[in-house]
Amino acid sequence: MAASQEPIVQQCVNTIKALAMDAVEKAKSGHPGTPMGLSSIAFELWTNYLRHDPHDPHWIGRDRFVLSAGHASMLLYALLHLSGYDLPLSELESFRQWGSKTPGHPEHDLTPGVETTTGPLGQGVGNAVGFALAVKIHAARFGQPFAPIRVFVIASDGDIMEGVSGEASSLAGHLELDNLIMIYDDNHITIDGNTSIAFSEDVAKRYEAYGWFVQSIDGHDHAQIRTALDRAIAEKDRPSFIRARTHIAQGAPHAVDTPEAHGAPLGEQEIQLTKKNMGWDPKRHFHIPQEVKDFFKEHGRKLAKQREVYNQQWNEWRVNHPKLAAEFNDFQTKKIPADLYEQLLQALGSEEEATRILSYKAQQIVGKLVPSLIGGAADLAASTKTLLKGEGDIARGQFQGRNIHFGIREHAMGAICNGLALFGGIIPYGSTFLIFSDYMRPSVRLSALMKLQCLWIYTHDSLFLGEDGPTHQPIEHLSSLHLIPDLQIVRPADGMEIAAAWVLALAYRKGPTAFALARQKLPRILRDSTVKNNDLLKGFYIVQEAKGGAPNLVLIATGSELHLAVGAKVKLEQQGHRVRVVSALSWEQFAKQDVSYQQAVLPPSTQKVSIEAGRTALWRKWVGEQGLCIGLDHFGASAPAHVLAEKFGFTVDAVSTSIQRWLRGQT
User: Can you tell me the distance from the alpha carbon of 83 to that of 102, in angstroms, rounded to the nearest whole number?
Assistant: 16
Mean per-residue pLDDT over the chain, rounded: 97
pLDDT at 1: 35
State the CATH number of the domain containing residue 496: 3.40.50.970
pLDDT at 145: 85
Which amino acid, one-letter code, is at 488?
Q
Is 262 flagged in the annotation as binding? yes
Is 563 flagged in the annotation as binding? no
pLDDT at 4: 36
Last residue of a domain, one of 282, 304, 326: 304
Residues 157 and 186 in one domain: yes
Q: In this structure, is residue 510 part of a structural domain?
A: yes
pLDDT at 334: 97
Q: In this structure, is residue 8 part of a structural domain?
A: no
Residues 223 and 118 in one domain: yes
Which amino acid, one-letter code, is at 510?
K
Query: What are the backbone angles phi and psi of residue 488, rounded to the nearest 5°?
Result: -90, 130
pLDDT at 6: 84
Helical H segments across 490-594, by residue range: 495-507, 562-574, 587-591
Residues 649 and 579 in one domain: yes
User: Can you tell me the distance from the alpha carbon of 356 to that of 286, in angstroms, rounded to the nearest whole number?
Assistant: 57
> Residue 553 pairs with which residues in a beta bridge?
579, 607
pLDDT at 459: 99
pLDDT at 73: 99
DSSP 237: S
pLDDT at 188: 98
Is 31 flagged in the annotation as binding? yes
Residues 70 and 161 in one domain: yes
Residues 612 and 641 in one domain: yes
State the CATH number of the domain containing residue 647: 3.40.50.920
Is 436 flagged in the annotation as binding? yes
Strands (E), 392-487: 393-394, 403-405, 427-433, 455-459
Q: In this structure, is residue 272 part of a structural domain?
A: yes
Last residue of a domain, one of 283, 304, 325: 304
Is 71 flagged in the annotation as binding? yes
DSSP 524: P
DSSP 375: E
Residues 364 and 452 in one domain: yes
- Residues classed as catalytic: 410
Asked if 612 and 649 count as a contact pair (C-beta separation under 8 A), the reply is no
Residues 586 and 502 in one domain: no
Query: What are the backbone angles phi and psi of residue 615, rounded to the nearest 5°?
Result: -60, 150
Is 357 flagged in the annotation as binding? no
Q: In this structure, is residue 423 part of a structural domain?
A: yes
Is 189 flagged in the annotation as binding? yes
Residues 353 and 272 in one domain: no
Residues 297 and 445 in one domain: no
Helical H segments across 337-458, by residue range: 340-348, 355-369, 381-384, 410-423, 441-449
Q: In this structure, is residue 317 part of a structural domain?
A: no
pLDDT at 458: 99
Domain interval for residue 247: 27-304
Asked if 514 and 488 count as a contact pair (C-beta separation under 8 A), the reply is yes
Using a cut of 0.85, tell me whether the model's pTM lies above it: yes
User: Can you tell me the distance from the alpha carbon of 46 to that of 127, in angstroms, rounded to the nearest whole number?
Assistant: 19
Is 472 flagged in the annotation as binding? yes
Residues 123 and 267 in one domain: yes
Q: How many separate domains does the chain show? A: 3
Last residue of a domain, one of 516, 551, 569: 516
Is 157 flagged in the annotation as binding? yes
Q: In this structure, is residue 146 part of a structural domain?
A: yes
Q: In this structure, is residue 493 part of a structural domain?
A: yes
pLDDT at 92: 99
User: Can you tell me the distance from the alpha carbon of 231 to that of 220, in angstroms, rounded to the nearest whole number?
Assistant: 18
> Residue 398 pairs with which residues in a beta bridge?
395
DSSP 2: -
Residues (pLDDT < 70) of the chain are 1-5, 667
Which residues have a Cβ under 8 Å from the Cβ of 412 and sit 6 or more positions away?
A: 126, 129, 164, 167, 168, 170, 171, 406
CA angle 509/453/349 to nearest 5° reads 80
Asked if 340 and 501 count as a contact pair (C-beta separation under 8 A), the reply is no
Is 519 flagged in the annotation as binding? yes
User: Can you tell me the distance from the alpha carbon of 586 to that of 581, in angstroms, rounded to the nearest whole number?
Assistant: 15
Residues 356 and 414 in one domain: yes
Q: In this structure, is residue 111 part of a structural domain?
A: yes
CA atoms within 13 A on the CB side of 287: 14
Residues 121 and 230 in one domain: yes
Give the rounded distance of the alpha carbon of 467 from its chain centre: 32
